[in-house]
Amino acid sequence: MKSFRTLAGAIALGLLVAAAGCGSNGSTSGTAGTSGGAGTAGSAGTSGGAGTTGDAGTSGAAGTSGIAGTTGRGGTTGSAGTTGRGGTTGSAGTTGRGGTTGSAGTSGSAGTTGTGGAAMPSAGCGTTPATTAQTTYMIDVAGTSRSYIVTLPANYNASQPHQLVFAWHGRTGTAMQIAGNYYGLKSRMTNAIFVAPQGLGTTSDPNDTGWPNTNGQDIAFLRATLAWMNSNYCVDQARVFSVGFSYGGIMSHTIACQMSDTFRAVAPMAGAIFGRTNTCLTHPIAAWMTHGSMDTSASGGVDFTAGESARDRIVTLNHCTSTTMPVDPSPCVAYQGCDAGYPVHWCPHDGAHTIPSFAAAAVANFFLQF
């Protein structure tokens, strides 16, 4: 296996062809009254900005009995809705990003059942797989034979939609190297199905594997593989994720560009975005990103500034502001004002072209929120 330093200079050549396409306590007749400034039709209570009959509502600072809703800050029963962080039909509530009727809405800032919305069972639900053992599969994509490894969870249930995680190897890497622990996510996402695709080598060196997406070949491979997975396994199509390091991070950014309408979130580590970004979809995508501030892989196009550039594209895509707030684990920050349900976390670290020790737990927790 070639060392990354040895290959750093060669990465540029392999990547130049990459295309990513890429709630005062008042009486019933309080200060604002039935029709006061914060009356029935305001923006925060059951149907008004401050409650039924007063500045702050019948029994709470901003609603009937809570800050922003009927019984809680964000909805019927909690900050994220009745049963979870997301929405019945989408990442932001029943009929909009902020709930049924507004930014805090009847059912919460993120909806009724989960940040990522209700589960979307695939056609393969109800189908018993031929094997539950980790298996390598082959698939023909426009005349080219491609391979990928599928690993099912120990509790795989053909009638229960499972999260699906694609994990991409780095340059000169192999699917088998990733399939061992899937970047540390396998033991943390125990209900997920994992896929480790195998990249193609170059014409001059079959071992120089990666994801240049030449003529769209790698996205075509992904689409074909995803279709096969949806047909043969019980996949939650609302919770499909991508993770990868280096060239695998680049592939994750390519997915965030070209398949943001299909993938719920990506986690590029030491990645970059290449190609004509004006061909990227305008659909937002949640993203957790990390990059070493000492990464000087400039010749390969994946140095720290390249990571920042790729980050900025997603920050803009998700309509985030430039303001950030600290988030676990340190030194991560979360961009503020992003589209509801599409957070962006940025985790710069002091290392070079490496995966930080906090990455596995942080990525798993980020994915599991959806």
When comparing pLDDT for 332 and 99, which is higher?
332
Cβ–Cβ under 8 Å, residues 222 and 168 = no
From the number of C-beta atoms within 10 Å of its C-beta (0-12, 13-18, 19+), residue 329 rates as middle
> Does residue 351 surpass a pLDDT of 90?
yes
155 Cβ neighbours under 8 A, 6+ residues apart: 190, 191
Residue 279 has what pLDDT? 85
Residue 275 has what pLDDT? 72
Tell me the torsion sign for CA atoms 86, 87, 89, 90.
Answer: negative
Tell me the torsion sign for CA atoms 124, 126, 127, 131.
Answer: positive
In whole angstroms, give the CA distance from residue 69 to residue 62: 7
Cβ–Cβ under 8 Å, residues 6 and 355 = no
When comparing pLDDT for 164 and 76, which is higher?
164
pTM above 0.75, yes or no: no
pLDDT digits (tens, 9 = 90+) for 250-282: 999 999 999 999 999 999 999 999 876 678 999
Q: Tell me the average pLDDT across 233-255.
A: 98
Residue 326 has what pLDDT? 98
> Does residue 114 surpass a pLDDT of 50?
no
Residue 32 has what pLDDT? 36
Write down the CATH number for the domain with range 4-22+121-368.
3.40.50.1820
Residue 127 has what pLDDT? 95
pLDDT digits (tens, 9 = 90+) for 184-205: 999 999 999 999 999 999 999 9
Three-class secondary structure assignment of the chain: CCCHHHHHHHHHHHHCCCCCCCCCCCCCCCCCCCCCCCCCCCCCCCCCCCCCCCCCCCCCCCCCCCCCCCCCCCCCCCCCCCCCCCCCCCCCCCCCCCCCCCCCCCCCCCCCCCCCCCCCECCCCCCCCCCCCCEEEEEEECCEEEEEEEECCCCCCCCCCEEEEEEECCCCCCHHHHHCCHHHCCCCCCCCEEEEECCECCCCCCCCCECCCHHHHHHHHHHHHHHHHHHHCCEEEEEEEEEEECHHHHHHHHHHHHCCCCCCEEEEECCCCCCCHHHCCCCCCEEEEEEECCCCCHHHCCCHHHHHHHHHHHHHHCCCCCCEEECCCCCCEEECCCCCCCCEEEEEECCCCCCCCCHHHHHHHHHHCC
> Does residue 335 surpass a pLDDT of 90?
yes
User: Of 358, 345, 369, which is closest to residue 184 (Cα–Cα)?
Assistant: 358
The domain spans of the chain are 4-22+121-368
Cα diameter, the chain: 82
Q: Angle between the 247-258 and 304-317 helix axes, to the nearest 10 degrees?
A: 20
> Does residue 29 surpass a pLDDT of 90?
no
Residue 97 has what pLDDT? 38
pLDDT digits (tens, 9 = 90+) for 39-86: 333 333 333 333 333 333 333 333 333 333 333 333 333 333 333 333
Residue 115 has what pLDDT? 58
Between strands 235-245 and 162-168, the pairing is parallel
> Does residue 227 surpass a pLDDT of 70?
yes
